């Protein structure tokens, strides 16, 4: 039996498209910030008495269809370890509200750590990153803390994450603005595939990301939060242009998303440097220097309730222990 705790991450240069859907190899590299505030703790036990894999998330047993991606990772672990037994997976997400931040990144990173250890494997962090990738692309990066690069590679062996700055030594902070949505969203898995196959801008996106990766690593080196924020914001908008330009086109933005984006722009026009990014849902994440936190909360709390603003520091890498 083993338990792992992994934190979620938010991409500053996004992953949006696969070159291999089975191995989850990305079209481009990407770069993210691991967050302290949001994490998943997962316990795995391989047990000869079980007659099927059991997956329990936040005290609810998943049906076969919902558990499919988890079972896929367990199958890979069984293959690697030569073990036959079925597994019991029990997972808890630490997310302040049910508002779409329950990320597959922390979930599949924790699963990779707990399942491989429970099966008696002792994988390097690189191999853990590769295993997490088989569950969900963004999980590749959640093995490490701080600022992390997922190097796209060309095959299963060389597509993994590396730490860029595990202990972030400058005052970058991220605020999640939790926006409610009732609409069923397009999953990132199917959304990104639709962009790859139908957006006429997809080739240009590859070039955008290649340039952004160089620029953001230079900005990180210089601890330049404004440059990091600016690159992240432009990159997010260009990623979301791939959803609008797909066929059929779609968007993750809703009216409130745009309201928050405008508030961030107003803050910036007023001299507070802050920048926004969004993923496969309506929530907005704001990037800024810690010293500006109160000014940003002050401005946003005029348009959205304070309990929907969640501040997070950079977070740590995965922790795994045997129970």
- Yes or no: say if 110 and 8 are a contact pair by the CB < 8 Å rule: no
Query: Min. distance of Cβ 266 from ligand DP6 in angstroms?
Result: 25
Smallest Cα–Cα separation from 85: which of 111, 52, 113? 52
Q: CB nearer to ligand DP6: give 109 or 267.
A: 109
Query: Min. distance of Cβ 272 from ligand DP6 in angstroms?
Result: 26
Smallest Cα–Cα separation from 135: which of 152, 155, 118, 113? 113
Q: CB nearer to ligand DP6: give 73 or 320.
A: 73
Q: CB nearer to ligand DP6: give 188 or 312.
A: 188
Q: CB nearer to ligand DP6: give 126 or 189.
A: 189
Residues at the contact surface with ligand DP6, assessed by CB under 6 A: 11, 14-15, 24, 30, 104, 136-138, 188-189, 279-280
Distance set, CA 23 to CA 48, 72, 127, 279 (Å): 28, 11, 14, 22
Query: Min. distance of Cβ 11 from ligand DP6 in angstroms?
Result: 3
Pairing of strands 54-57, 60-61: antiparallel
Q: CB nearer to ligand DP6: give 172 or 232.
A: 232
Q: CB nearer to ligand DP6: give 32 or 54.
A: 32
Residue nearest to ligand DP6 (CB): 137
Query: Min. distance of Cβ 262 from ligand DP6 in angstroms?
Result: 21
Rg (CA), the chain: 19
Query: Min. distance of Cβ 1 from ligand DP6 in angstroms?
Result: 26
- String of DSSP letters for 164-227: EESS--S-EEEEEE-----SPPPPHHHHHHHHHHH-TTHHHHHHHHHHHHHHHHHHHHTT-HHH
Query: Min. distance of Cβ 76 from ligand DP6 in angstroms?
Result: 15
Within 8 A by CB and 6+ apart from 103, the residues are: 8, 9, 38, 138
- Map residue 293 onto helix, strand or coil: helix
């Amino acid at each position: 039996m083993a338990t792992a705790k992994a934190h979620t991450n938010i991409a500053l240069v996004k992953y949006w498209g696969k070159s291999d859907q089975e191995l989850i190899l990305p079209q481009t590299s990407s770069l993210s910030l691991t967050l302290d505030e949001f994490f998943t703790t997962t316990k795995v036990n391989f047990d000869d008495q079980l007659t099927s894999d059991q997956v329990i998330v936040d005290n609810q047993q998943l049906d076969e269809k919902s558990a499919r991606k988890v079972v896929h990772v367990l199958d890979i672990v069984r293959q690697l370890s030569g073990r036959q037994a079925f597994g019991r997976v029990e997972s808890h997400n630490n997310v302040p509200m049910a508002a779409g931040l329950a990320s597959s990144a922390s979930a599949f990173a924790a699963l990779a750590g707990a399942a491989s250890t429970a099966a008696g494997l002792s994988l390097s962090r690189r191999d853990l990153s590769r295993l997490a990738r088989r569950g969900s692309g963004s999980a590749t990066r959640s093995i490490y803390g701080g600022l992390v690069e997922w190097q796209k590679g060309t095959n299963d062996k060389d597509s993994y994450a590396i730490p860029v700055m595990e202990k972030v030594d400058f005052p970058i902070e991220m605020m999640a603005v939790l926006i409610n949505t009732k609409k069923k969203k397009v999953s990132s898995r199917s959304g990104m595939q639709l962009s790859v196959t139908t957006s006429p801008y997809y080739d240009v996106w590859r070039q955008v990301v290649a340039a952004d990766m160089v620029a953001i690593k230079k900005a990180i080196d210089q601890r330049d939060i404004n440059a990091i924020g600016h690159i992240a914001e432009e990159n997010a908008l260009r990623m979301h242009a791939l959803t609008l330009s797909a066929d059929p086109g779609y968007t993750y933005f809703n009216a409130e998303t745009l309201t928050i984006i405008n508030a961030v722009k107003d803050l910036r026009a007023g001299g507070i440097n802050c920048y926004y990014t969004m993923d496969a849902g309506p929530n907005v994440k704001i990037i800024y220097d810690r010293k500006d936190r109160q000014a940003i909360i002050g401005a946003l709390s005029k348009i959205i309730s304070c309990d929907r603003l969640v501040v997070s520091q950079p977070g740590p890498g995965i922790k795994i222990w045997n129970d």
